[in-house]
Chains A and B, each alone.
Chain A
Amino acid sequence: QKEVEQNSGPLSVPEGAIASLNCTYSDRVSQSFFWYRQYSGKSPELIMSIYSNGDKEDGRFTAQLNKASQYVSLLIRDSQPSDSATYLCAVTSRGNMLTFGGGTRLMVKP
């Protein structure tokens, strides 16, 4: 079992809709959770971090964490074509080391 799992997609949503990206992790002692966005051929960039259960909002992005279910999600409201990218979930484990999921490719259609 992978330590951090994501559906590879592609997840296709129409412009203006809510995109919901999901991630599960296996290490129960994980403390920190991150979402990185990666455009094709580019390096990942951090868009959200979350450390405690519940929701964290930043503009059109909301990260949701449920440690009991070992589940973290990213919601993108009012999706735009420029949001089309691969979204990588990352989780700290094994002494503060970061483990990445395989990424979910999001396509926002005009």
Chain B
Amino acid sequence: EAQVTQNPRYLITVTGKKLTVTCSQNMNHEYMSWYRQDPGLGLRQIYYSMNVEVTDKGDVPEGYKVSRKEKRNFPLILESPSPNQTSLYFCASRPTGNSGANVLTFGAGSRLTVL
């Protein structure tokens, strides 16, 4: 089954404790992206990657890091989480090119709480 898998789905942590949210897709998509969703603000892009070893900042990159060493994986790293990073996080992927462009496939979401 074609899918985007995120882990963990739920996490409660404390301020300053480094954490990584993993994202993996099995569709051979070049493009992958991380979003956070907060009430009333819709989906805001954190980082995206057009392909392996190519990453770029989205609209709200502060406090986050990403890496793209393999095509299928795009982990989101919070080096020193703070309470304002409490949010619902979604990983998404799509192929590049005009065919099916921007038809994102989303993961199930990861709900993060930072105390």
Contact = CB atoms under 8 A, between A and B. Distances in A.
18 contacts: A4-B42, A8-B40, A32-B102, A34-B102, A43-B90, A43-B109, A44-B43, A49-B102, A88-B43, A92-B101, A92-B102, A96-B102, A97-B45, A98-B45, A99-B45, A100-B42, A102-B40, A102-B41
B106 interface: yes
Interface size class of A (residues with CB under 8 A): 20 to 34
B102 A44 contact: no
Given A88-B43, A101-B42, A96 B107 contact: no
A97 B48 contact: yes
Contacts, number: 46
Interface string A75-110: 000000000000010101000111111110000000
Interface of A: 4, 6, 8, 32, 34, 41-46, 49, 88, 90, 92, 96-103
Contact of B101 (A88, A96, A100, A103): A96
Given A32-B101, A43-B90, A100 B106 contact: no
B42 A103 contact: yes
Question: Considering residues A42, A96, A98, which has the most beta carbons from chain B within 10 angstroms of its beta carbon?
Answer: A98
B99 to A, nearest CB: 13
Given A46-B104, A103-B42, 18 more contacts: A8-B40, A34-B102, A41-B109, A42-B109, A43-B106, A43-B107, A44-B43, A49-B103, A88-B42, A88-B43, A90-B102, A92-B102, A97-B45, A98-B45, A98-B102, A100-B42, A100-B43, A102-B41
A4 B92 CA distance: 20
Interface in B94-115: 101-104, 106-109
A38 to B, nearest CB: 9
A21 B50 CA distance: 32
B103 A44 contact: no
